[in-house]
Structure 1
Amino acid sequence: MTFFTAWWRLTLGILIVAVTAHATVQDASDHSLRTTKSATTGSAWGPYRPNLYFGVRPQLPETLLFGLMWASGDSRDALRDTCEQDDGMQGYGWTSYDPRAGGSQTIHDAALRVDLKVDFYKSQDGLSWTARVTGTPRAGAPADLKTAVVFHAAMERAESPTSERSLRCVRHLRHRDDIRCMALLPELDPVGLYITRGTDNKVVEGPSVMSLNVTEDQIWQAKDHMVDLMDGHSSAAFSTRVDAVFPRAAPFEDQKYAGLTQSLLANLLGGMGYFHGDQLIDYSHAPEYEETDLGFWEKAADAMAHAPVTIKPNVSLLSFVPSRPFFPRGFLWDEGFHLLPVIEWDLTLAVEVLKSWLSLMDDDGWIAREQILGPEARSKVPIEFQTQYPHHANPPTLLMLVSVIISKLAHATPYNGDSSDSITSAEKGQALVKEIFPLLSRHHDWFRRTQAGNFTAYPRPSGANAEGYRWRGRNPGHCLGSGLDDYPRAEPPHPGELHVDALAWVGASAKALQQAAEYIGEDSSICKEQLQAVRQNLDTLHWDPATETYCDATIGHDGKYKHVCHTGYVSLMPLLLGHLDESHPHLPAVLDTLSNPAKLWSPHGLRSLSAQDDNYGKDEDYWRGAVWMNINVLAVLGLRNLGNSTAAGARAQSLAAHLRKRLVDTVYDSWDQTGFAWEQYSDTTGKGQRSRAFTGWTAAVLLLMGLEDAAVTFPDPLEGSTTHSSGWTAPTIGFVGLLVLLVLLRHRIMGLCSRVAIVWRQSRSHRYHQGDEGRALNEAIDLDDLYESDSNTADT
């Protein structure tokens, strides 16, 4: 294949690169790249290489690849190409981006003392595009600062310059600062690439053109090869549309929150990539992978070390990515959260991405939880994690989207996004659900089959049915399949254990499929029966009366069934995934756990693990206390849907309002200080942690800013007493009676009584979080209702 670079050294100015098959009008003051082709919309161009600061390709395999690099004009050190965690950026990302129109990206390179702006615009049909790169020295930069700007293009599977798949680049005969390339490939019309410079540029050295042939597995390594060799109108329209689709309500009307909303959305959308390549899969189905023996993880690890690895033929995926510098690939359970805001913005695009994921499903219903396609993707993944296993699962968040999509198709909730035929046409909406329903059902059945718990070899509580699950791939200290990696589980792992979150996810999937079946007129009875069995077993198998918490279960040394309780996100899953109703006897205790500052309630959101747990903040400290926005968003939406027609409902509304404000402010403050959204946030300081530029599921926070809060009648648990009982407990009555008796007997000790009353109020506030028997029951979350309109919620 052919690899091509063109580079300039500039003190400042504009670079525009254009690819076109037809004549285009270009501003002589710009450097521009424009592409035109005659092909299907599915092959439209875009910045579908999110692991690069700016990389463009069409949605086609084995095709043209474009990218931008830059470096100091005096040195080839610190050449920028791929997004990296330690590049010394003060911030970068899309300030506006719509996959259908394009947008603008700013890059603040503090280390090289230059700010770059990349304007990327697409034609209405998505088949033509123009990119403009503008460079500005940062404050304090020397007057003679030089920046080398490099544009690179590559043709996969290129042959000779005269073949039907080729790339050839030359300088213009008369205008030596202009570059022209011609590309041929069967899937596109002949493509012309033009690079020109603006008249206002201060050029230290004119363009150079280099090309070389590299092997197929090196074509993506533009930076390495280079080292070896040496608008405004669209932004305004984007802002207006963001305000229309994601309006902000109190207390977030301030314009500063508009910047956060646009940044989260633009960088989520700008993180969409088109990936194509082979995949490493272990299809050995070794008997050790059944994990039926004690010490199963050791036997499974040995089998994995000796199993043959299959290189699965090339597949393609259109997906959003969690983080461009650190996780520039598709993740199964992340994608469900990614698509929640995208559904509101562009339902057609969200469905296209959903279908792309479902197309990767094998005949059994398995989808690899990480899509590591090709050598470029594998370069970011440690070798021990590159192979995927068909018995390893992930939370089935794609099914979580079904109820949201159906609510839009049925006009049950508002939709202000890009026009969609599936919404305007009831027939097309039905056809859409009928198309995806069999695939989602197959995925659900695969999960139930491969993650099923053992109900024959180990004791289970009386009254339990056969619905129980455990994540495969467990080892001491980790349960990667659950998505909660180092969240504490039973130690050591046991083949008889059961996981409450796995069961809750199965129930949520069954509920989604039931709703889909009813929408298209199919039989929903099996899904309904599964859902009922799941909800029964959540209480029978996983409720621990001693701690008043939903817990995992294992088999003890005495061979008996026992609970393993680590209060945190796992404990909340029955609530978050819609399995508790308003009359459920365990709901008050679950709400107490959620709102207890000594456990999960922090100044910056719900902790992933209780601060009282012995594992809090220990070892890797990944899911052991930090605040994760995906779970917190579900919590806010769920609490809001508990209604406000009862005292318990009013309490839930208050918790939702307080939590909503804390989450948005936490994300905003860190974004304002660093220029990035983050993977997780400290529960003590609120500062962003781990991977930066994490506008994957963290972007789901933008769904919260437009929510109207109901009347807040209960204070924040961190700011005052959280009493909510409709009656007094016996200890309370007894203590009040004692106070009255003391007053009657000894007026002179009233001062002492006052001090005792203060202590009583403080201790009662603590006991409230441990469990108060006299409180009213709250209503429960139903996943189907997460996206009810504000008016419906207010009327509940």
Structure 2
Amino acid sequence: MMVRQRKTVTHKSINNETSSSSGSSESSFGSKTFKFLSVWKTGVGFVCFLIAVYISTLGYLETRVNTPFDDDKVVKDSGLAVPDRYWGTYRPGVYMGLKSREPRSPVFGLMWYELAAAAQKGIRHWCDQNDNLATYGWLRHDGVTFGEQLISDPPHNITTSFIKTPGGEHGGQWTARINVTTRGNANVPFVLIWYAALDEALGPAAPLSRLWYEDGAILGHTPQLHNFRVSLVPHKGKLLHKSFSEAHAPGLHLLKEKFYALLKVERHSTFGRLAVLGTDDELSDKEKDINFVPIQMLVETPFVLDVVYTNEDLPTPPLKGEEYSKALKVHQKSFDEEFEEKFKLTEKGYPPPDVGAGRAALAGLVGGVGYFFGAGRVRSQYTREPVPYWRAPLYTAVPSRSFFPRGFLWDEGFHGLLLGRWSPDIAMDIAAHWMDLINVEGWIPREQILGAEALARVPKEFVVQSNAAANPPMLLLQLAGLVRRQPSLFDSPGKHRAALDRMFSRLQAWYQWFQTTQKGEEPTSYRWRGREDDGLQLNPKTLTSGLDDYPRASHPSDIERHVDLRCWMYAAADAMATIADVLLRDSSKYEAVRDQLADEDLLNELHWSPHTQTYADYGLHSDGVRLVRQQPKQPGEATRVVRSVTVPPQPRLVTSAFGYVSLFPMLLKVLKPDSDKLGKILEDLDKPDLLWSPYGLRSLSKSSPLFMKRNTEHDPPYWRGQVWLNINYLALSALRHYSQTGPHAARASDLAARLRDNLVRNVLNEYKRTGYLYEQYSGEDGKGSGCKPFNGWTALIVLIMADDY
């Protein structure tokens, strides 16, 4: 019993031990499995977290390109809050057009055609070089209350003018006069069209806006203007026939096309068959409202028409007829006196025709100020497709009414130099609008294409703006120049000081964006982004520099160093220090950067060539490049011109491209007055086989391999030898600066006097010969080239005539 019992117990014990051992093993395995599963789940969760963070970061980065800068807007007052600039000729892309500074404004404009030549010449509306007008442009324009323009379309001259009468709560009233004469005062039938239209922005978002025709006038209503009336009042001459239409146009960019569609032929007792305006069948669609009211007038020249805009809250009668004629003479006299007071051209001995040309140059710039509203298209490395910028207004001058009727960032800095002398109020208002376009990154799109009318004038490849693309910070320099020149404008308290104070955080962000995104690989070096080698360009363009096809390193790479950008950053740091000082802000960090970039030893180490004794860019470069015609690889393919490289590129200074870029250490006054390098630059300036010409400084030396060479089969030279007024103005400003002191003062003074005379003589001669200011001028014969009229920075000829730098 005992033994059996013991055996039983022993058996149980063994079983228990076995069971216990097995359970322990299973428990250990389960524990390891649990730990593995826990680690795996944790790892998967962590990976998912990282993916979520990555995706959310990408989403955040994707939105930064079109996220506005987070601070108070610089433009505090707009629309009716700025009554003196509420109405204006703010449609610079048309020969004559008016609108208000409202995103939702009615627009008014002029079209015309010659009855006998309509099929050949077409209808004039947009400023277009292909119209081949003998001349057109503002002769006087104060930017506020008055303007006078001459349009020569042989055999007719059309003089347009306007006068604004402020008052009331809804923008005041204005009168525009259209005066048509024919060579020899012949009585010739001529067709004028005056129209009103509602901007696209006045669509569903503003259902209370409307237009219609009643009792011989255009009537309308908008929430801002309330009820208004536009009357057409013949002042002199015969009105032979009038017709009108109420219509729906698909957009402002298609008004002329819509006008064509409304014409129908009727029999006329005198002219046999006559095209007149008919009804618009599209209005049968209940979803389409009237947004376009054109009035066509067949007149006998000479003919004078007063277009009178009145508002219901102004009981005073508007200007018209002889009252308008008297007021026009008063405004003309006032403008001429103010022009002389500010620029003193008569006092300096210029004859009346030259003074008149100077007035027209200024008026062309002031009359080219427009008001735009819309959203551009932008992209960044984080966006799959271009995205819209935020909708915003822009009050800005345009470089050319015919070719560039939109805002350009670095152009506006040069425009502001002249506008700031004429009207600091306008210059500061423009700068404020530009600063409100800065995004959270500190980037400003360099080309502003806002609204359907502006977009219709731009080739598709230039519409989308990249946030990697810079543009010279000339607007910053212009603001600092205004502070130095007229410090009393920025006394406290004052509206301009308050505006500059609101700008400051944005200027800081813009400056820092340059310092962050445009740095080069070497300390204190900088590189323009955006150069792309497509194998078709003789030298890939650097559009961001503003100098487009000016020769850089032949093969774009990250090792490039651009001497002009380094000098721009010196000037930008100096400008920031100036603005910080006047606002009583800390300027030490800007002064430190300025002083570092002013170190000539560092500059020379990066950009000075001991061999050619010139400043130059650095990069992967070869002068052994040329354009060749490539034979088709497949039957039926067209031949194309491509770049051929006969000598492999090497990392080196681009010394063969001596030109504007080589001058930047002088142009932006980086060099000290006693610098021996400055002496060498001045010596080279005076050599006719390099940059000097009887018409101004060439953009590229005649000795350069790419002098006046095409960049592609279809891309003629642009900054490869032509004379440009903006850089010549910088040269004159620098020469005047260096003529004050130092061992090179006498030479700088002599060069400044001769360069000024060459520029003034040639620009004025070309204006008298052709009726236009041009984008650029030939260094060989002085003839204007590029687009016309170019009353952007070429209008700086006024400051050059006045010796005002």
5 Å matches for 1:500-579?
A: 500-536=563-599, 537-555=602-620, 561-565=651-655, 566-579=657-670
Judging changes above 3 Å, is the alpha-carbon distance between structure 1 residues 148 and 429 closer, same or farther for their aligned structure 2 residues?
A: closer
Answer with 619-628 or 516-525: which moved more.
516-525
**CA-CA distance at 1:516 after TM superposition:** 1.1
In 2, Cα distance between the equivalents of 1:100 and 1:547? 52
The equivalent position to 1:210 in structure 2, one of 225, 228, 245, is 245
Corresponding residue of 1:245: 342
Corresponding residue of 2:560: 497
In 2, are the aligned partners of 1:249 and 1:705 still within 8 Å (CA)?
no
**CA-CA distance at 1:474 after TM superposition:** 4.1
**CA-CA distance at 1:76 after TM superposition:** 4.3
In 2, are the aligned partners of 1:94 and 1:104 still within 8 Å (CA)?
yes
In 1, Cα distance between the equivalents of 2:125 and 2:117? 15
Residue 401 of structure 2 corresponds to residue 401 of structure 1: no
TM-score, normalization: structure 2? 0.74
Judging changes above 3 Å, is the alpha-carbon distance between structure 1 residues 322 and 49 closer, same or farther for their aligned structure 2 residues?
A: same
Corresponding residue of 1:148: 191
Corresponding residue of 2:550: 487
In 2, Cα distance between the equivalents of 1:394 and 1:637? 21
The equivalent position to 2:673 in structure 1, one of 577, 582, 600, is 582
Please state whether the residue corresponding to 2:219 is helix, strand or coil. Answer: strand
**CA-CA distance at 1:533 after TM superposition:** 2.3
Q: Give the letter aligned to residue 402 of structure 2.
A: P
In 1, Cα distance between the equivalents of 2:475 and 2:352? 33
Judging changes above 3 Å, is the alpha-carbon distance between structure 1 residues 159 and 431 closer, same or farther for their aligned structure 2 residues?
A: closer
**CA-CA distance at 1:555 after TM superposition:** 4.4
Corresponding residue of 1:263: 360
Residue 273 of structure 2 corresponds to residue 183 of structure 1: no
CA-based RMSD of the aligned residues comes to: 2.3
In 2, are the aligned partners of 1:276 and 1:316 still within 8 Å (CA)?
yes
In 1, Cα distance between the equivalents of 2:593 and 2:650? 27
Answer with 121-130 or 446-455: which moved more.
121-130
Corresponding residue of 2:527: 469
In 2, Cα distance between the equivalents of 1:547 and 1:249? 45
The equivalent position to 1:282 in structure 2, one of 373, 379, 393, is 379
TM-score, normalization: structure 1? 0.74
In 1, are the aligned partners of 2:660 and 2:699 still within 8 Å (CA)?
yes
Residue 753 of structure 2 corresponds to residue 657 of structure 1: yes
Please state whether the residue corresponding to 2:664 is helix, strand or coil. Answer: helix
In 2, Cα distance between the equivalents of 1:356 and 1:159? 24
In 1, Cα distance between the equivalents of 2:487 and 2:621? 49
In 1, Cα distance between the equivalents of 2:380 and 2:651? 34
Please state whether the residue corresponding to 2:509 is helix, strand or coil. Answer: helix
Corresponding residue of 1:66: 108
**CA-CA distance at 1:693 after TM superposition:** 0.6
In 2, Cα distance between the equivalents of 1:159 and 1:189? 16
Q: What do residues 191-213 of structure 1 show as CA deviations (whole Å, max 9, x unaligned)?
A: 22222222x322221x2120112
Please state whether the residue corresponding to 1:635 is helix, strand or coil. Answer: helix
**CA-CA distance at 1:114 after TM superposition:** 1.1
Please state whether the residue corresponding to 1:167 is helix, strand or coil. Answer: strand
In 2, Cα distance between the equivalents of 1:602 and 1:572? 16
Corresponding residue of 1:377: 454
In 2, are the aligned partners of 1:247 and 1:705 still within 8 Å (CA)?
no
In 1, are the aligned partners of 2:674 and 2:742 still within 8 Å (CA)?
no
Corresponding residue of 2:765: 669
The equivalent position to 1:136 in structure 2, one of 181, 184, 187, is 181
5 Å matches for 1:27-38?
A: none
In 2, are the aligned partners of 1:549 and 1:571 still within 8 Å (CA)?
yes
Judging changes above 3 Å, is the alpha-carbon distance between structure 1 residues 275 and 505 closer, same or farther for their aligned structure 2 residues?
A: same
Which ranges of 4 or more aligned residues in structure 1 deviate by more than 4 Å? 37-40, 157-160, 249-252, 423-429, 555-561, 644-647
Residue 672 of structure 2 corresponds to residue 630 of structure 1: no
Judging changes above 3 Å, is the alpha-carbon distance between structure 1 residues 159 and 578 closer, same or farther for their aligned structure 2 residues?
A: closer
**CA-CA distance at 1:622 after TM superposition:** 0.4
Judging changes above 3 Å, is the alpha-carbon distance between structure 1 residues 45 and 611 closer, same or farther for their aligned structure 2 residues?
A: same
In 2, are the aligned partners of 1:423 and 1:429 still within 8 Å (CA)?
yes
Judging changes above 3 Å, is the alpha-carbon distance between structure 1 residues 159 and 559 closer, same or farther for their aligned structure 2 residues?
A: closer
**CA-CA distance at 1:59 after TM superposition:** 0.5
In 1, are the aligned partners of 2:674 and 2:744 still within 8 Å (CA)?
no
In 2, are the aligned partners of 1:608 and 1:627 still within 8 Å (CA)?
yes
Please state whether the residue corresponding to 1:633 is helix, strand or coil. Answer: helix
Please state whether the residue corresponding to 2:699 is helix, strand or coil. Answer: coil
Q: 5+ unaligned residues in a row in structure 2: which ranges?
A: 1-78, 264-327, 534-538, 623-647, 711-715
In 2, Cα distance between the equivalents of 1:687 and 1:38? 44
Answer with 469-478 or 188-197: which moved more.
469-478
Q: What do residues 394-440 of structure 1 show as CA deviations (whole Å, max 9, x unaligned)?
A: 111111112221123425xxxxxxxxxx3676655543432222211
Corresponding residue of 2:518: 451
Answer with 71-80 or 393-402: which moved more.
71-80
**CA-CA distance at 1:386 after TM superposition:** 0.9
In 2, are the aligned partners of 1:679 and 1:694 still within 8 Å (CA)?
yes
In 1, are the aligned partners of 2:531 and 2:540 still within 8 Å (CA)?
no
Q: Give the letter aligned to residue 147 of structure 1.
A: F
Please state whether the residue corresponding to 2:618 is helix, strand or coil. Answer: strand
Judging changes above 3 Å, is the alpha-carbon distance between structure 1 residues 186 and 548 closer, same or farther for their aligned structure 2 residues?
A: same
Answer with 438-447 or 694-703: which moved more.
438-447
Q: 5+ unaligned residues in a row in structure 1: which ranges?
A: 1-36, 173-178, 287-306, 412-421, 456-464, 708-785, 788-796
Q: What do residues 470-499 of structure 1 show as CA deviations (whole Å, max 9, x unaligned)?
A: 333443421101111110111111221111
**CA-CA distance at 1:561 after TM superposition:** 4.9
Q: Give the letter aligned to residue 100 of structure 2.
A: P
The equivalent position to 1:692 in structure 2, one of 760, 774, 788, is 788
In 2, are the aligned partners of 1:403 and 1:515 still within 8 Å (CA)?
yes
**CA-CA distance at 1:573 after TM superposition:** 0.8
Q: Give the letter aligned to residue 165 of structure 1.
A: S
Judging changes above 3 Å, is the alpha-carbon distance between structure 1 residues 250 and 638 closer, same or farther for their aligned structure 2 residues?
A: farther
5 Å matches for 1:14-413?
A: 40-41=82-83, 44-74=86-116, 76-77=118-119, 78-110=122-154, 113-124=155-166, 127-139=172-184, 143-156=186-199, 164-170=208-214, 172=215, 179-198=216-235, 200-205=236-241, 207-215=242-250, 218-230=251-263, 231-248=328-345, 252-285=349-382, 307-410=384-487
In 1, are the aligned partners of 2:555 and 2:649 still within 8 Å (CA)?
no
Q: Give the letter aligned to residue 204 of structure 1.
A: L
In 2, Cα distance between the equivalents of 1:571 and 1:354? 29
Answer with 612-621 or 126-135: which moved more.
126-135
User: What is the total number of aligned residue pairs between the two structures?
Assistant: 618
In 2, Cα distance between the equivalents of 1:222 and 1:258? 38
In 2, Cα distance between the equivalents of 1:278 and 1:423? 32
**CA-CA distance at 1:249 after TM superposition:** 7.0
Q: Give the letter aligned to residue 147 of structure 2.
A: G
In 1, Cα distance between the equivalents of 2:203 and 2:483? 48
**CA-CA distance at 1:138 after TM superposition:** 1.9
Please state whether the residue corresponding to 1:617 is helix, strand or coil. Answer: coil
In 1, are the aligned partners of 2:110 and 2:193 still within 8 Å (CA)?
yes
In 2, Cα distance between the equivalents of 1:621 and 1:85? 19
**CA-CA distance at 1:469 after TM superposition:** 2.8
In 2, are the aligned partners of 1:38 and 1:127 still within 8 Å (CA)?
no
In 2, Cα distance between the equivalents of 1:579 and 1:645? 15
Q: What do residues 96-155 of structure 1 show as CA deviations (whole Å, max 9, x unaligned)?
A: 101112111110002xx211111111125673211010110124x8x4521110001112
Answer with 251-260 or 628-637: which moved more.
251-260
In 2, are the aligned partners of 1:159 and 1:166 still within 8 Å (CA)?
no
